[in-house]
Structure 1
């Protein structure tokens, strides 16, 4: 992993950033050319002013003064056009590069294993994808190219000054060591402040994302005041970091102005003394010219520290972004097997699985599901039910054993093909802030409106969708907040049906709805499962009594296995759970 150490910019990291500039190399070349032009054109104006003052104003040459004024106006317009083009191109370059980089980051994040998201705050990823990337754009618009231009301008101005008058140049540059010292101190201080700001931005985003997402929990437990106080503390730290950076600026810029004034004072003193003693050596025009050079010289030197820190912060942002890109937690798509059809026969053979090290949540799990059969997984929370379907989709990788579909190890299948043939309906239905149609198709252009309507009719959802304003174009808002739990669940059934999977997984798909709604959507479930292999996870045993096979899990191990009637005869875990639901006060849990 590339890193920034001390005050030195890591060249390898900078090279990686510039990989995203390659498609826009013409813009980059034009930006560099304009940077050179600005550095060359800038010193011309002070010389023209000096010439105008000595040769025309002091000699009363009004026509010459008029001609030089026109020339300077043309030069000023030209310089403004170059500056405008330079600013536009460098910003275009930066925004174009981070557009591609942001796409690359998003594409990479969507392919990461769920294990990565288990330990990484979503707010942190948002910071990486948004604000950290913006700092990378500053590398081009306010950082590297501008630094090159400022350094080049300083070199050109000093060279012109030396050419014009060596003695005056030495006098002017006498306070320069003080400026270099002040700039170095400022650069180190502001870098630390900027890093603190970036850290606090990430903390702020993470806190906001988590607490806005979980706002219902906060309100259910009346935690608004406590969370408000915690947010105030985080926000105060962010404010303090910004104030600290502004404090450094408030000290540094006046110091630069004092040093600049010292340089001007020395110039005026020495120049006036020379004019009085040797009028032919130094003229009023020369003094004016050098005063303008001082202003032009100290401005880029003053801003170099700020620009260099902008560059460094861009590099810090790049380091964080590339750390995400370098995260080697992708599910390897090593398989190429893509049969014309998938029957849906599933086989778990001696499967051992752990999320962390060897704390196994599935232990020597073995079972088979014939094509078209329905298998139900039953067990207490933490028994390993959801883990079983997660490894079938290859969201997590097993440590031992193998999982087969149609007799072929799932690692030999093309990953996209495998997942496209396994549709999962979860208890907690996630709907995007979009239309019902787009939530069903997930923006798949191959799925037509006719197919969506047909699937909606099969699961009994067409009528309620048609009653909504706009029908299938109704926007369900974030997480489907404008729909009931049952309606959202029905939409998830339509989503599963239009993708026509070979294997259907229902993970507690009816546990979040009431009994009446459950009866209504049972018909939808029957249509979904018809002709497909199905794995059903459910606490309500009423929904799985017709399953071809019921597997009872406890702490990752199979304790019982059989049909509903067979398990009742065993008088074991399943029988006790059944009696608890149907005979404990007549209320099913």
Structure 2
């Protein structure tokens, strides 16, 4: 069973954002179909990630309890209890991280094996006339490099994104539970961060599609020249083909630089937003602590939570790069499977 038929040439952009969103959704649903037989493994991974998010959110809260309830009151015995709880949460977190990686890799490898077998069998069943018109390098690129890009999505993308979202939700809930006013002031950096993320997504989307298309052309050209090296030498095409290969590589270089430029602008902006949030906590929260309106432990917990808050944000941006590469690869793979 297939979700949505995706048969669009990767060399040409789509008409608009609405069409692109619908198209990406169709590709995503079709890719998720390969995970369906291993849904129980995905459920285990999600459960482990939810537990990991809760354990991670407990750390700053335990720090707050240690400072306000025990250090400030000179309660050494109670402090030992909190320290042991903190170490227990850290140890349990290490176990959940191991289980998360293991089950993610297990799920992804099982799913990608099915896709590899399907595309290889389909290539064998295509008529000889199609293979005569299609460069061997293109077929190899679909079955190898494009499938590897999808593998990255299966093993590091889909479920990890959900885990990052769970971590963000746990942190935001903890912030509002500790102090509503300080949480609202601190999270004022979220709207500009969301706007920057939206702009980054739009810029990166096209860059990754163009880059993926050029990489496939480079692979195909190289494969064809190496497999037909005797013909190339016999006809004296070395210089001409060398120039064509150079032009392809220059195009790939320029597209790599373009995609890196967007990343090199976005991630420093995230760092700036993190520093701004930390400065807000120190200025506003510190002022309220001096006035006795909030406890010192709450201020320390906020600082720790904000450091944890921006890590999933960075991860989500990196996973978006991975998602775009996988979407570009999947449209090319499904283009062959739909023949």
TM-score normalised over the length of structure 2 = 0.89
Of residues 104, 110, 116, the one that matches 2:124 is: 110
Q: Give the deviation of 1:312 after TM superposition.
A: 3.6
The answer for the alignment partner of 1:534 in structure 2 is none
* Alignment-derived partner of residue 131 in structure 1: 145
Deviations 1:380-439 (A, max 9, x none): xxxxxxxxxxxxxxxxxxxxxxxxxxxxxxxxxxxxxxxxxxxxxxxxxxxxxxxxxxxx
Offset of 1:167 from its aligned partner? 0.3
1:300 to 290, 294, 312: 312
User: In the alignment, is residue 100 of structure 1 matched against residue 114 of structure 2?
Assistant: yes
C-alpha separation in 1, matches of 2:187 and 2:84? 32
Q: Please list every run of 5 or more consecutive structure 1 residues that lacks an aligned counterpart in the other structure.
A: 328-589
Instruction: Name 1:37's counterpart in structure 2.
Output: 51
Which residue number in structure 2 is paired with residue 192 of structure 1?
206
1:310 aligns with 2:314: no
Alignment partners' CA distance in 1, 2:212 and 2:327: 12
Q: How many residues align?
A: 325
Aligned to 2:6: 2
- Equivalent position to 1:76, from 81, 90, 101: 90
Cα deviation code 1:248-304 (max 9, x no counterpart): 211111111111111111111111111222x1x312211111111112222222332
Q: Which residue of 1 aligns with 2:296?
A: 284
Residues of 1 paired with 2:233 and 2:299: CA distance? 71
- Once residues 91 and 232 of structure 1 are traced to their aligned partners in structure 2, the CA distance between those partners, rounded to angstroms, is 37
For the residues of structure 2 that align with 1:9 and 1:275, how far apart are their CA atoms? 51
Contact 1:260 1:298 survives alignment (8 Å): yes
Equivalent residues in 2 for 1:220-259 (5 A)? 220-259=234-273
Q: 1:321-400 alignment to 2 at 5 Å?
A: 321-327=333-339
Structure 1 residue runs of 4+, over 6 Å off?
Answer: none
SS of the residue 2:34 aligns to: coil
Does the CA-based 8 Å contact 1:183-1:302 persist in structure 2? no
Higher helix content, 1 or 2: 2
CA–CA distance in structure 1, aligned partners of residues 28 and 189 of structure 2: 34
Task: Measure, in 2, the Cα distance between the counterparts of 1:146 and 1:282.
Answer: 35
Structure 2 SS opposite 1:43:
helix
Q: Is the 8 A contact 1:28 1:93 kept in 2?
A: yes
Using a 3 Å threshold, how does the CA distance of structure 1 residues 225 and 11 change in structure 2: closer, same or farther? closer
Q: Is the 8 A contact 2:208 2:324 kept in 1?
A: no
Bigger Cα Rg? 1
Partners of 2:263 and 2:27 in 1: how far apart? 28
Q: Alpha-carbon deviation of 1:108?
A: 0.8
Matches of 2:321 and 2:167 in 1, distance apart? 19
Distance 1:33 1:217, change over 3 A: same
What's 1:155 paired with?
A: 169
C-alpha contact (below 8 Å) 2:232/2:238 kept by paired residues: yes
Question: Which of 311, 315, 320 is the aligned partner of 2:332?
Answer: 320
**What is the rounded CA distance, in whole Å, between the counterparts of 1:129 and 1:35 in structure 2?**
32
**TM-score, length of structure 1 as denominator length:** 0.53
**Which stretch has the larger CA shift, 307-316 or 28-37?**
307-316
Of 175, 178, 185, 1:164 maps to 178
Query: Contact 1:94–1:136 at 8 Å: present in 2 too?
Result: no
The structure with the largest strand share of the pair is 1
Aligned to 2:103: 89
Contact 2:55 2:90 (8 Å CA) reproduced: no
- Aligned counterparts of 1:13 and 1:255: Cα–Cα separation in 2: 30
Structure 2 CA distance, aligned partners of 1:231 and 1:146? 38
Partner of 2:133: 119
Deviations 1:522-574 (A, max 9, x none): xxxxxxxxxxxxxxxxxxxxxxxxxxxxxxxxxxxxxxxxxxxxxxxxxxxxx
Give 2:81's match in structure 1, choosing from 33, 49, 67: 67
CA–CA separation in structure 1 for the residues paired with 2:277 and 2:297: 17
* 2:45–2:103 CA contact under 8 A, matched in 1: yes
Question: Are 2:274 and 1:260 aligned?
Answer: yes
The 8 Å contact of residues 184 and 305 in structure 1, kept in 2 or not, is answered as no
CA deviations 1:431-484 (Å, max 9, x no partner) are: xxxxxxxxxxxxxxxxxxxxxxxxxxxxxxxxxxxxxxxxxxxxxxxxxxxxxx
- Stretches of structure 2 that go unaligned for 5 or more consecutive residues are 8-13
